[in-house]
Amino acid sequence: MPSEQTVTSLLKELAGGEKQALDRLIPLVYAELRRIAHAQLRTERADHTLQPTALVHELYFRMAGREQLSFNDRAHFLGVAAHTMRRILIDYARIRNAAKRDRGREKISIGEAGEIPFLRPSIMIAVDDALNALEQQDPLLARLIELRYFGGMTAAEIGIVVELEVSEVRRELKLAQTWLRRELDVPPAIHGRSRSSA
């Protein structure tokens, strides 16, 4: 793992508008980004167009295209990376789902947390819809779910990002999972979309 000081220095350069710092930062955290990408894709269908390497590259292009990049530290950077990867996958799912909108409606049950079969774009979109709804009610709970199931982070890593004790992270994750189970185990909403989680 690269020196925390080097990563922090590059993050400060980014915040100062030095766009080339991103080119030097990505190789230093590449293994961590691939781990997050792998976690994001672990429940996608096997033939998904994006593989971990491609997802990391797409992340780079999106970050490079932003006007301003500012991160507090490595954990914050990785949290933003996990969120951005989730957005990339949702964008792909929405494109795939557009052609299938008139298909029959289906009930989605998430079963055990972390075992969501994102084999259909509609499920991926339902997950995103549920997290967006949760974010309106409790942004912290939505963030915890995103970091855990989309970012593949441990409770300890999440604790660093959101500045909470590990025991509190675990307690809040249980609350979030309960909310999502309730939200996702209902019939599809008026718009023909059901909700699902990570």
- pLDDT tens, position by position, 34-73: 988 887 777 665 555 678 888 888 899 889 888 778 888 8
Q: What is the number of domains present in the chain?
A: 1
In a domain, 103, yes or no: yes
In a domain, 74, yes or no: yes
Q: At what angle do helices 166-184 and 121-137 cross, to 10 degrees?
A: 120
| Residue 179, C-beta contacts closer than 8 angstroms, at least 6 positions apart | 134, 137, 138, 141
Q: At what angle do helices 74-98 and 4-15 cross, to 10 degrees?
A: 60
Distance CA 67, CA 81 (A): 16
Closest CA to 79 of 174, 144, 129: 144
Q: State the CB neighbour count (10 A cutoff) for residue 50.
A: 18
In a domain, 173, yes or no: yes
More confident residue, 115 or 97: 97
In a domain, 125, yes or no: yes
Q: Taking a C-beta distance cutoff of 8 angstroms, is the pair 122, 129 a contact?
A: no
Distance CA 88, CA 55 (A): 8
**Token digits of residue 149:** 């199931």
Closest CA to 198 of 156, 135, 106: 135
Query: Is pLDDT at 182 greater than 70 in this prediction?
Result: yes
Q: Taking a C-beta distance cutoff of 8 angstroms, is the pair 145, 131 a contact?
A: yes
pLDDT at site 64: 87
* Domain extent for 10: 4-184
In a domain, 106, yes or no: yes
pLDDT at site 187: 46
Read off φ and ψ for residue 118, nearest 5 degrees: -80, 55
In a domain, 195, yes or no: no
Closest CA to 115 of 149, 139, 91, 141: 149
In a domain, 31, yes or no: yes
- Give residue-wise pLDDT tens across range 108-164: 443 333 333 344 566 677 778 888 888 899 999 888 888 887 777 888 888 888 889
pLDDT band at 192 (very low <50, low <70, confident <90, very high): very low
In a domain, 131, yes or no: yes
User: Rg of the Cα trace of the chain?
Assistant: 17
